Amino acid sequence: MFPESTKAGYTFEDYKLTADWLLSQTEHRPLIAIVCGSGLGGLADMLKDQTVIKYSDIPNFPQSTVHGHAGRLIFGNLNGKPCVCMQGRFHLYEGYPIWKVTFPIRIFKLLGVQTVIMTNAAGGLNQDYKVGDIMLMKDHINMPGFAGNNPLVGPNEEQFGARFPCMSDAYDRDLLKLARKMGAELGYSDFLREGVYCVLGGPSFETIAECRMLNRLGADAVGMSTVHEVIVARHCGMRVFGLSLITNLAVMDYESEQRANHEEVLETGKLRAGQLEKLVTSFVSRIEHNNNF
């Protein structure tokens, strides 16, 4: 129905076309966006008074190709807060250029979103982590960015943000504090962690040597998403909160018989889904957009 952009990047007019189309399809005006990682799409099902739109119907939108990513944009209310939820995200390993991977984040900005909640499934590098732990993201390491694969490369879109955005405050500290408080109130302290997420390109899982290196660099968890979206969200001036569900432990020992696989990722998501959804739901109910909790 809509021709896909074939240019090396989108213009502000492309973003506005998509945002205006979405606003014409729903009466919801979201202040919070939630991006669901592998196996975590159930978060979107908790929204009330839903408007559901398939990615394939949205102008300029990429298509999700990964098992566990439904490929739907869902508008609705979560605990009385207007939200939009991505039930499935995009990745570099699907073959998309980075400006397509991050396309929805700028759409959220034009929809009026002020806070973005990022979720992902990740491998645990920290030796104290266990499968099923939930890691609150306090920082990240952008490995593709070291090679120049950053979503802000190219002409800067001044309508969204400054040429050189700061990333030392990428993850909002007040939101992180709120999440810690909510986790304690829910009795989740035994499996709630806080750490640094490292992104790689994928789709192959990491070698033992790579896991050892990343651990020594200070990464607590590793995955194939999220960081590119965070950079764009901060460039747009939106607040960011992120969490990783530790779905597998990175293999560090050459004698180990463990093997990372995507099925384990999805299965762990199912097992921890209820508690994760309760945490996010409680967290959203406490978010205010004047920075006062």
Query: How many helical (H) and strand (E) elements, i.e. helices and strands, does the chain have?
Result: 8, 9
Catalytic residue, from 28, 33, 64, 69: name it. Answer: 69
Catalytic residue, from 44, 46, 121, 137: name it. Answer: 121
Catalytic residue, from 93, 96, 167, 260: name it. Answer: 93
Catalytic residue, from 262, 267, 273, 282: name it. Answer: 262
Catalytic residue, from 64, 142, 215, 248: name it. Answer: 248
Catalytic residue, from 38, 126, 215, 244: name it. Answer: 38
Catalytic residue, from 28, 91, 228, 235: name it. Answer: 91
Whether 228 is catalytic? no
| DSSP state, residue 169 | T
Whether 93 is catalytic? yes
Angle at the Cα of 33 (from 241 to 148), degrees rounded to 5?
A: 65
The alpha carbons of the chain give a radius of gyration, in whole angstroms, of 18
Assign 223 to helix, strand or coil.
strand
Whether 69 is catalytic? yes
> Tokens in use for 255?
């004698």
Whether 267 is catalytic? no
> Tokens in use for 177?
């504090």
Angle at the Cα of 67 (from 66 to 71), degrees rounded to 5?
A: 65
Catalytic residue, from 225, 238, 244, 264: name it. Answer: 225
Q: How far is CA 201 from CA 96, 222, 228, in A?
A: 11, 11, 11
Whether 94 is catalytic? yes
Rounded-to-integer distance, Cα 285 and Cα 207, Å: 40
> Tokens in use for 82?
């207007």
Catalytic residue, from 33, 94, 221, 229: name it. Answer: 94
> Tokens in use for 95?
């073959």
Catalytic residue, from 86, 135, 224, 250: name it. Answer: 224
Q: How far is CA 206 from CA 72, 124, 128, 209, in A?
A: 29, 12, 19, 8
Catalytic residues: 38, 69, 91, 93-94, 121, 224-225, 248, 262
